[in-house]
Amino acid sequence: MMKTFIPFLSLRRPRGRGTTVNSDINVKVKSVGERMRIGELSERTGASARSIRYYEQLGLLTSARLGNGYREFDDSAVATVDTIKALIDLGFPTELIQRVLPCTGDAGPAGQDCGVLMRRVAEIRDEMDAKAARLIETRDALTGFLARAETGASVQLGAA
DNA sequence: CTTCTAACA
DNA sequence: TGTTAGCA
């Protein structure tokens, strides 16, 4: 039985506000044993501790607990949070994120319905194409608007 | 000092 | 989501 398993989404997301310092390197170092508390996970992902706890509350992330009640995350949580943030940024409903994550390798274990999910993922991908096309149309409209404005011609957004 | 939960803005 | 309170 070959189970459907999508290696890694490896979604890139803009890091930092104003500073473009990070180049996303998708190196999967299987260094087992690296654990961290919420503070470090927060630093390494850019997600606030508040958000991390919220993601966990939504069932998107799991953690162990230390003796003092502190959350302890596996280093794989970094990739998971990155993926969650990227997915949320893209407008994915958290309900879908919850079901897709196990299929990305960013969070396990893999469910049995990964294949079924791919269809919805494909639909969302197609919707992105549509949105991208509309975005380009709007951008071109703005370009034309700007050009006409400089010429002192018709100053109406939709004008031809 | 860090984290936790809960609650309010 | 941020932030704050009041505890461990």
Q: How far apart are CA A96 and CA A124, in angstroms?
A: 11
- Name the nucleotide nearest A55; use CA and C1': C1
Query: Å from A48 (CA) to C5 (C1')?
Result: 19
For residue A120, being part of any structural domain is answered with yes
pLDDT over 60 at A85, yes or no: yes
pLDDT bracket for residue A3 (50, 70, 90): very low
CA A4 → C1' B9, Å? Answer: 45
Give the burial class of A118: count Cβ atoms within 10 A of its Cβ; 0-12 exposed, 13-18 middle, 19 or more buried.
middle
User: Does A144 lie in the same domain as A93?
Assistant: no
Model pLDDT, residue A7? 45
Give the nucleotide at minimum CA-to-C1' distance from A69: B4
* A91 CA to B5 C1' distance (Å): 29
Indicate whether A1 pLDDT > 70. Answer: no
pLDDT higher than 70, residue A61: yes
A44 CA → B5 C1’, Å: 24
The predicted structure's pLDDT at residue A39 = 97
The answer to whether residue A14 is domain-embedded is no
Query: Is the domain of A73 the same as that of A129?
Result: no
* Residue A28 pLDDT grade (very low, low, confident, very high; cuts 50, 70, 90): very low
Based on the fold, state whether residues A108 and A122 are members of the same structural domain. Answer: no
- Asked if residue A142 and residue A102 are part of one domain, the reply reads no
Task: Mark whether A104 and A118 lie in a shared domain.
Answer: no
Q: Give the number of residues written for chain A.
A: 160
Helical spans, DSSP H, in chain A? 38-45, 49-57, 76-89, 94-104, 114-151
Q: Model confidence over A40-51: pLDDT tens digits?
A: 999 999 999 999
pLDDT of res. A6: 42
- For chain A, the domain total comes to 2
Q: String of b and e for A82-115 (b: at least 16 CB within 10 Å)?
A: bbbbbbbeeebeeeebbbbbbbbbbbeebbeebe
Peptide bond into A109 cis (omega under 30): yes
More confident of the two residues A41 and A22: A41
| A91 and A134 part of one domain | no
Domain limits at A81? Answer: 34-112
